[in-house]
Amino acid sequence: MDEIRAARQLQLIAEVVAMASECGIQVWLRGGWAMDFFLGEITHDHRDIDWFAWTHDTSVLGAELDRSGYQQVPGLPPDQQLDVLKDGEDPSFNLLRRDMSGRVVVGGGPWAGSPWPENMLERYVGRIGNLQCPIINPRPQIEIKQMMPIWVPGSPRRAKDLEDITRLQAALHED
């Protein structure tokens, strides 16, 4: 495991959590880091840091990230995801909104309005060492990892996703 990169990514996670708290905006870790924060340990190297945030917070979030030394870069449509770089790492903020019935849905881009799994944003706080971070509910995390190749045709089913699903299911079964 690349311990230097993991430490750098954990520092960026801590920065985002502190910044979001100071600005009064909500963010949630998703993906591999959310799983690791749920399990309480780093299970593997991470290529990136995936977040969820609300579309209505994008301007404040973008401005604060800029002030904190993050560089916004092109990526997915800007109403769907905010992509940034800092210290050689690439955090991304997938944007959410609520539809007319209150469901959490994709905030923009080609899948705008598509619902995310129910209870995805249920209050979970994960921890690695002394660092606490809001994370998405692990049960919807499993659903997302299982369904992504179906929801996004051409998105491969990755071996690491199957390993993550197994780890999360085992940890939830222990609860």
pLDDT tens, residue by residue, 92-105: 999 999 999 999 99
pLDDT tens, residue by residue, 16-34: 999 999 999 999 999 999 9
Q: What is the CATH number of domain 3-139?
A: 3.30.460.40
The domains of the chain are located at 3-139
List CB contacts of 57: < 8 A, sequence separation 6 or more: 23, 25, 26
pLDDT tens, residue by residue, 41-73: 999 999 999 999 999 999 999 999 999 999 999
What does the radius of gyration of the chain's CA atoms come to, in whole angstroms? Answer: 15
